[in-house]
Every structure is written in C-alpha cells, then in structure tokens.
Amino acid sequence: MPDPVFEPVSFSRIGNWQSDDHVAAMAAFRISAGRMARRPYSTKRFGAESVLLASAAAEALALSEAERTDAHACRNFFETRFAPYRLRPGGGSSSPNDGFDGFVTGYFEPEIEASREYSAAFPVPILRRPPDLVEIEDASRPPDMAPDFFFARKTASGLTEYHDRAAIEDGALDGLGLELFWCKSRIELFFVQIQGSARLCLPDGSLERISYDGKTGHPFTAIGRLLIERGELVAETVSMQKIRAWLETHPNEAPALMQENRSYIFFQTVDHPKPELGPVAAAGVPLTPMRSLAVDHRLHTFGTPVFVETAKPLPSHEAPFASLMIAQDTGSAIVGPARGDLFIGSGIKAGEIAGAIKHSARFTVLLPRPGSG
C-alpha cells in the first residue's frame, strides 16, 4: 500500500469547522498538553513533530481562563498554531468519494460486575501484564517474527512470540499471580479487551477502573468479519450487540471463535485523576467523550488534533459527525493512516451508539506550524 498524502487545505474547506465547539476541543487538547509538559510524545512515521507539538501544547497551557473558555480565542489558537492537511490514505491527491476514504468506528468504557476473589460467580481472571512481555521495534524484532508484532516474550535464549489467546485461556499463565480481578464470563472479558478499559462494580459497592497495559502482539482478528464470511451475520446490519448475542446463544461454538482472535490484552488498575472523564488510555491521559480519538500509534503522534468528518450521521444523530478530535489512544483493530476510533463515553447507552458506528470518514490532520513557540 502506498504512503498516504497530506494535502494542504484551508480551514474554510473543512466542513463544520466554523461551528464546531473549539472550547471543548481545547479542553481535550490541554489534557494532552499537560502530559507533554512532563514528557513529550515520540514522533511517529506520519505524525506531528514532537518538539513542535510540545511547543504548541505549552502555549495552550499558558492560555488564561478567559482565553481557553472563549470560542473565538480557541478557534484562533488552532488556526494560527496549526496547519490543516487533508489525509489521502491511498497515496493519491484526488478521491472518488469526496475525500471520505477513511473509516471510523466507535468505542466506549464498559461497566461490568467483578470481584477481587475467584468464585463460581466470578470464574474468569482479568490479568495484569506478565513480567516477560516486552515491547519491541523493527530493530529488535527477531528476523523470523512477523513485521506486525510489536510485543514479544523475553526468554533466556532471546525474544520469541508470546502465548496467544488460546494458550492463555488454556492455562499458559496460571500460577503466576497475574489475576487483578475476576469477572463472570469469557465473553464479557472479550469485549472489555476490545474496548481496552472498564469500570468494575465490586460486590462491596466500590468501583475500580482498569485500563490497557500491553498485549500479546498477535494481530487483531475481527470475529464479526468471520461471522459474516460464514453466513452467520449480515454485513449491512452487523453490530457489537449482534456479535455478542451470537456468542451468548452459541455457547459451544463461542470459545473457539473468540480464540481465532489470537490477540490478548492485559490490564492495570487506574487511580483515575479525573473520575468524571473516560478511562486513562494509551497516551497516558483520561479520554474525553466525543473528543478523544484512537489512532494507529505506529503512524500517528499522540496529542495531534485531527478533524474527523463522517459521510453519514452517527447512530441517534441527525447530522453527519464533524468535530476536532485529539489523538489520545490506540487499539489493536485501528490499523492504517486513515483509520480512527471515536470514544463515545461510558456505560450502556454509549455502548449502544459505539457498537453501531462503522462509517466512511474524512480526516484532516492539524500539524503544528514551525516556529509556533
């Protein structure tokens, strides 16, 4: 696949730019700015230059309360400190689909019942990251390991492929004390792993939050696509809810189907700095509903503003989606330069909306202008 093209555009060519809520976008950007003040993000292949982005972030943090709550001032900040580029994922400068050649889905923070102890009611472990799981790069990847692996198992003889979902569910990590919590079913855990975070309601009435802390490295396999290919679901109407319903009504086939997605996610507990916001995600910041975007972090720099437009309305919306998002997360299924995942929020209602999003989209990336600081 050819490299994407970043085509310079004017802000006037971005649909709904003028009417977007730039105060809300600024609030989300300042959350990432706080993280960049402590430690800038690394520059990725197609992403914003880390030094320039951190400089713009520092200016955002320096805005007065009056400035950061004024719509005109916030819009002016983005227009003067960033330059917009339309992302053409296919490598061409023209699009037969009016630029809507990207793709977005939605995700949310589930809320499930869980326990600190194993019991018949809570038999499935939610695992912390194993000590022998390490991140790798192209330079450290063994020559016999697939190029899309970015995690591996560290052994005395070197790096090797980590245990996959089937091996872990069959007990490969048993006895290592990795259990953070216990939940009710593998199906429930499977969907928490897809979302990458969850709120856990414990029997004593307390609430814990868990977030992503690494994965086995195996490529994500969408079991919804497998069900469509096998004639079990229809592509035009498939949704997260229908996939889950199929799993729950096919208890004999469900375990093997889920294991075809070899990727397995590990978690950590989170002392949440802003409980009113979403989970703390891969970029190290809490997510803002409808303003945080998950991207392919191998390609895009965290903290980058990205204006996302959909060709059709999202579920329960009357008009197509068009808002300035901040790249603050990533995910196993988010692969490619023009691929995004919109964080919808927490709980059942957010899940109903997120599970039905599979929309063609247009991405305009805002790259910091040289000398903005």
140 located within any domain: yes
- One domain, residues 217 and 132: yes
pLDDT confidence band for 137 (50 / 70 / 90): confident
What's the pLDDT score for residue 141? 87
251 located within any domain: yes
274 located within any domain: no
Secondary structure of the chain as H, E, C letters: CCCCEEEECCHHHCCCCCCCCHHHHHHHHHHHHHHHHHCCCCCCCCCCCHHHHHHHHHHHHCCCHHHHCCHHHHHHHHHHHEEEEEEECCCCCCCCCCCCCEEEEEEEECEEEEECCCCCCCCEEEEECCCCEEECCCCCCCCCCCCCCCEEEEECCEEECCCCHHHHHCCCCCCCCCEEEEECCHHHHHHHHHHCEEEEECCCCCEEEEEEEEECCCCCCCHHHHHHHCCCCCHHHCCHHHHHHHHHHCCCCHHHHHHCCCCCEEEEECCCCCCCCCCECCCCCECCCCCEEECCCCCCCCCCEEEEEEEEECCCCCCEEEEEEEEEECCCCCCCCCEEEEEEEECHHHHHHHCCCEEEEEEEEEEECCCCC
Average pLDDT along the chain? 92
Domain boundary among 269, 293, 308: 269
Backbone torsions φ then ψ of 308, nearest 5 degrees: -115, 130
- Residue 117's domain is classified under what CATH number? 2.40.240.50
More reliable by pLDDT, 221 or 273: 221
CB 355 within 8 A of CB 240: yes
d(CA 253, CA 261): 14
- One domain, residues 188 and 131: yes
Q: What is the pTM of this model?
A: 0.79
Q: Pick the closest to residue 292 from 332, 335, 324, 336 (CA basis).
A: 324
- One domain, residues 92 and 116: no
In terms of DSSP bridges, do strands 265-269 and 207-215 run parallel, antiparallel, or are they unpaired?
A: antiparallel
- One domain, residues 114 and 89: no
**Strands across the sheet with 151-155, in order?**
133-135, 151-155, 158-160
- One domain, residues 308 and 351: yes
More reliable by pLDDT, 329 or 47: 329
| Residues paired with residue 155 on neighbouring β-strands, in sequence order | 158
- One domain, residues 199 and 233: no
Q: Which domain holds residue 128?
A: 108-221+264-269
- One domain, residues 312 and 290: yes
What's the pLDDT score for residue 298? 87
pLDDT confidence band for 37 (50 / 70 / 90): very high
- One domain, residues 124 and 202: yes
> In the chain, how many domains are there?
3
373 located within any domain: no
239 located within any domain: yes
- One domain, residues 62 and 123: no
- One domain, residues 139 and 234: no
pLDDT digits (tens, 9 = 90+) for 58-95: 999 999 999 999 999 999 999 999 999 999 887 655 55
d(CA 108, CA 298): 22
349 located within any domain: yes
Domain boundary among 269, 289, 304: 269
Domain boundary among 269, 288, 303: 269
- One domain, residues 15 and 76: yes
236 located within any domain: yes
What's the pLDDT score for residue 373? 45
- Residue 355's domain is classified under what CATH number? 2.40.40.10
What's the pLDDT score for residue 273? 67
122 located within any domain: yes
pLDDT digits (tens, 9 = 90+) for 102-112: 999 999 999 99
| Residue 372 pLDDT exceeds 60 | no
- One domain, residues 156 and 215: yes
pLDDT digits (tens, 9 = 90+) for 249-283: 999 999 999 999 999 999 999 887 677 788 888 89
The stretch 323-329 carries a mean pLDDT of: 97
